[in-house]
C-alpha cells in the first residue's frame, strides 16, 4: 500500500473508531454533567447493549431491532440503577462512583453467565458491509455507517440540547442544579432522563460496535478507559468536548496501534497527559 493510501485509510479508520467512542463517551459526559458522578458501569452499558442486541438480532433477524432493543433495554437498566440504588446516596459522589463499580462487576459476571465466554458477532445487513472504492483505495462500508450514525446522533443531541424545551431544562440542570431546582425544574426527573439517554447511547454504541468488533467478555473494561480519555480530553459535561475528544482519541489510538503496536495505550495517554498538564479540566470542560 502506498504511503498516502496508508494515511488516508488510517484516518478513515480512526474516524470510525472515534464515531464509536462518541456514542460511548457522549453519554458518560452527559451523565456527569447533570449528576456529577462518573459512571464506571458505563462500559458495562456498552457491553450489555452489544449482547442484548446480539440476542435481538438473532431472534428477529433485524439489525434495526437490535439497535433499538439494545438501547431501550439498557436504558431501563440504567433507570433501575439510578432510581433504586444511586439515588440513595445523594450527595456522596465517591460512594456513588464506587457503587457503579459494584454494578460493573455484577454486569460482567451476569453477561458471562447468560452469553458465555465465547466471542460473538452481530449479524448485520449485507448492504452495510459493502466496501467501496475511491481513487483506488478500498473503504469499509460498515465503518462509514458508524461515522454516519455517530454524526446523526451528534446532530440529534445538539438539536435536543439547544433547540428544545427539554434540552433547555437539561442545560439548566447541568449549569446549576440547585438553581434549576429553585426555579421549579424537576431536576431528579431530568437527571433520570439524561441518565437513561446516556445509557441508551452507550448501548447503541455497543450494538453498532458489535457488528464490527464483535461482542465478547471484557469489552466493558476495555472500552471504559477510552471513554474516560475522551471525556478527560474533551471535558466533562460538554457536547463539543465529546465530539472533539472522540475524534482525537479515535485518530490517536488508530495511528498509535498502526505505528507503535507495542506501546498502544501509551501513545494514547501521553497526549492526554499533555493536554491535562495545560488544562486540568479538559479542552472544553467545567470543574
The alpha carbon of residue 247 and the mean position of all alpha carbons in its chain are separated, in whole angstroms, by 13
277 binds another protein (CB under 8 A): yes
Instruction: Indicate the angle between helix axes 219-234 and 3-35, nearest 10 degrees.
Output: 80
Per CB under 8 A, which region of 63-71, 108-116, 165-173, 208-216 contacts another protein? Answer: 108-116
Q: Which of 20, 5, 19, 44 is nearest to 209 (CA)?
A: 20
Which member of 24, 104, 172, 203 binds another protein (CB under 8 A)?
104
Nearest distance in Å: CB 266, another protein:
6
Neighbours of 184 (CB within 10 A): 7
Which member of 4, 5, 59, 88 binds another protein (CB under 8 A)?
88
Query: How many Å apart are CA 252 and CA 256, to the nearest integer?
Result: 6
Neighbours of 253 (CB within 10 A): 21
Nearest distance in Å: CB 10, another protein:
18
Rg of the Cα atoms in the chain: 19
95 binds another protein (CB under 8 A): yes
Nearest distance in Å: CB 215, another protein:
18
Which member of 12, 46, 63, 103 binds another protein (CB under 8 A)?
103
What is the contact mask toward another protein in residues 205 to 244, using x (rule: CB under 8 A)? ----------------x--xx--xx-xx---x--------
38 binds another protein (CB under 8 A): yes
Binding residues for another protein, how many (CB under 8 A)? 49
Long-range contacts of 277-283 (CB under 8 A, 24+ apart): 281/235, 281/236, 282/231, 282/232, 282/233, 282/234, 282/235, 282/236, 282/238, 282/241, 282/245, 283/233, 283/234, 283/235, 283/241, 283/244, 283/245
Count Cα neighbours of 62 within 13 Å in the Cβ-side half-sphere. Answer: 7
36 binds another protein (CB under 8 A): yes
Q: Which is nearer to another protein, 211 or 250 (CB)?
A: 250
84 binds another protein (CB under 8 A): no
Which member of 142, 158, 255, 269 binds another protein (CB under 8 A)?
269
Q: Which is nearer to another protein, 85 or 158 (CB)?
A: 85
The burial class, CB within 10 Å (0-12 / 13-18 / 19+), for 222 is middle
Query: How many Å apart are CA 229 and CA 268, to the nearest integer?
Result: 8
184 binds another protein (CB under 8 A): no
What residue ranges bind another protein (CB under 8 A)?
Answer: 32, 36-38, 40, 85, 88-89, 92-95, 97-99, 101-110, 112-113, 221, 224-225, 228-229, 231-232, 236, 261-266, 269, 272-273, 276-277, 280-281, 287
Amino acid at each position: 500500500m502506498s504511503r498516502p493510501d496508508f494515511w488516508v485509510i488510517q484516518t478513515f479508520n480512526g474516524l470510525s473508531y472515534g464515531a464509536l467512542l462518541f456514542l460511548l463517551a457522549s453519554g458518560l459526559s452527559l451523565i456527569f454533567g447533570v449528576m456529577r458522578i462518573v459512571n464506571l458501569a458505563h462500559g458495562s452499558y456498552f457491553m450489555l447493549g452489544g449482547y442484548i442486541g446480539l440476542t435481538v438480532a438473532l431472534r428477529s433477524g433485524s439489525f434495526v431491532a437490535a439497535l433499538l432493543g439494545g438501547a431501550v433495554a439498557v436504558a431501563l437498566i440504567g433507570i433501575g440503577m439510578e432510581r433504586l440504588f444511586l439515588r440513595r446516596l445523594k450527595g456522596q459522589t465517591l460512594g456513588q462512583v464506587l457503587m457503579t463499580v459494584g454494578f460493573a462487576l455484577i454486569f460482567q459476571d451476569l453477561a458471562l453467565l447468560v452469553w458465555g465466554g465465547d466471542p460473538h458477532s452481530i449479524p448485520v445487513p449485507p448492504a452495510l458491509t459493502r466496501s467501496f472504492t475511491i481513487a483506488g483505495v478500498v473503504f469499509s462500508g460498515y465503518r462509514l455507517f458508524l461515522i454516519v450514525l455517530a454524526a446523526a446522533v451528534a446532530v440529534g443531541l445538539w438539536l435536543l440540547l439547544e433547540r428544545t424545551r427539554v434540552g433547555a431544562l437539561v442545560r439548566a440542570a447541568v449549569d446549576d442544579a440547585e438553581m434549576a431546582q429553585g426555579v421549579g425544574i424537576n431536576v431528579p426527573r431530568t437527571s433520570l432522563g439524561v441518565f437513561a439517554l446516556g445509557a441508551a447511547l452507550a448501548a447503541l454504541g455497543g450494538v453498532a460496535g458489535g457488528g464490527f468488533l464483535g461482542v465478547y467478555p471484557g469489552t466493558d473494561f476495555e472500552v471504559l478507559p477510552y471513554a474516560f480519555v475522551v471525556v478527560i480530553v474533551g471535558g466533562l459535561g460538554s457536547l463539543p468536548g465529546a465530539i472533539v475528544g472522540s475524534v482525537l482519541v479515535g485518530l490517536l489510538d488508530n495511528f498509535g496501534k498502526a505505528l507503535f503496536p507495542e506501546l498502544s495505550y501509551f501513545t494514547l495517554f501521553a497526549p492526554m497527559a499533555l493536554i491535562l498538564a495545560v488544562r486540568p479540566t479538559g479542552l472544553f470542560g467545567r470543574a
